[in-house]
């Protein structure tokens, strides 16, 4: 019997990968960042048809370097 790691478990398309709240598809673009209504996480669209979402990376400040 194979035990599945919860961190590698697949998320159903159109769901937040953090809280599984359904996210409306609509006319989304790859790279678009949106907010989850369930957990307020920032999500990035990484695929369309079906809609696939991942947690958006945090933006780091440049500080002019």
Q: In this model, does residue 45 exceed pLDDT 90?
A: yes
Long-range (24+ apart) CB contacts under 8 A made by 18-22 are 18/55
Question: What does the pLDDT read at residue 11?
Answer: 52
CB-based contact 23:36 (threshold 8 Å): yes
Q: In 10 A of CB 45, how many CB atoms?
A: 19
Question: What does the pLDDT read at residue 7?
Answer: 42
Q: What is the pLDDT of residues 5-37, one digit of tens each?
A: 444 445 566 899 999 999 888 889 999 999 999
Question: What does the pLDDT read at residue 25?
Answer: 82
User: What secondary structure letter does DSSP report for 59?
Assistant: P
The three-class DSSP label of residue 14 is coil
Question: What does the pLDDT read at residue 34?
Answer: 93
């Amino acid at each position: 019997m194979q035990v599945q790691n919860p961190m590698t478990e697949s998320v159903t398309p159109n769901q937040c990968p953090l809280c599984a709240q359904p996210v409306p598809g609509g006319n989304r673009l790859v790279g678009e960042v949106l907010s989850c209504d369930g957990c307020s996480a920032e999500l990035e669209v990484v695929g369309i048809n079906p809609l696939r979402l991942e947690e958006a990376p945090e933006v780091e400040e440049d500080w002019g370097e």
